[in-house]
Amino acid sequence: MEEELGWEFIQIYGLTETSPLLTVNRSRQEWDDLPVEERASKLIRAGAPALGVTLTTDAEGEVLARSNVVLEGYWQQPEESAKALAGGWFHTGDGGVIGDDGYLTIMDRKKDVIITGGENVSSIEVEDALFSHPAIAEVAVIGVPSEKWGETIKALVVLAPGEEATEADLIGWCKERLAGYKAPTSVEFRDELARTATGKLQKFKLRQPYWADQGKQIN
């Protein structure tokens, strides 16, 4: 967009509970002479805290925020409000990392992180690797039960029209690009994936059938 259309790319991050935003990321003058790939790697971050916003992360890597843009509480839901605002911080539900320069990078929704064999795996990182395969149109990566590992990584894939790929193809593709423990152990091909009216993946619905016999609460 920048090179071919002359547009400026600006990234913002926030939630309904933090209207309008928590962070902003726009190109800085000192980045102008950087190679395209390096500049892009800086611009894909959620950004630096907006005016009046303080960010931190807790021991589990969840992003916490304080600001006058944070909600005072949920309407007639005191228990949910207390949980969301525990310790005087708003708990975003997002996992992230704050760099030495103060810029926030969102890694995944906390509830979408897959814990396999004691290792935390970002479903988004695995999805990004799979999206780089030319045969894939849509993908959702979820954790499913595993007797050995607690949970293991499954990829739900919609192939692009006219394209073909096997489970072994896609697992091998990931192993070439990610640490071995981050690669899916199984791939299931679908005609479509459950989404909200605004197009967001409904991962809790995708996970539910696999955990139905495990007594695990899915949300």
SS3 16: helix
Is 86 contained in some domain?
Answer: yes
Top mean-pLDDT range of 84-93, 110-119, 208-217:
84-93
35 and 71 housed in the same domain: yes
The alpha helices in 47-99, defined as continuous H runs, are 78-84
118 and 102 housed in the same domain: no
- pLDDT category, 3, cuts 50, 70, 90? confident
CA distance linking residue 185 with residue 87, whole number of Å: 39
User: Which range of residues forms the domain containing residue 97?
Assistant: 2-110
173 and 81 housed in the same domain: no
Determine the average pLDDT of the residues in 150-154. 97
101 and 169 housed in the same domain: no
Is 89 contained in some domain?
Answer: yes
Is 142 contained in some domain?
Answer: yes
Place of tokens 């293991």: 152
Q: How many residues does the chain have?
A: 219
Tens of pLDDT along 165-206?
999 999 999 999 999 999 999 999 999 998 988 888 899 999
SS3 69: coil
22 and 98 housed in the same domain: yes
Number of domains in the chain: 2
pTM over 0.75? The answer is yes
* pLDDT for residue 215 is more than 80: no
Determine the average pLDDT of the residues in 32-56. 94
97 and 186 housed in the same domain: no
Determine the average pLDDT of the residues in 28-53. 94
Is 218 contained in some domain?
Answer: no
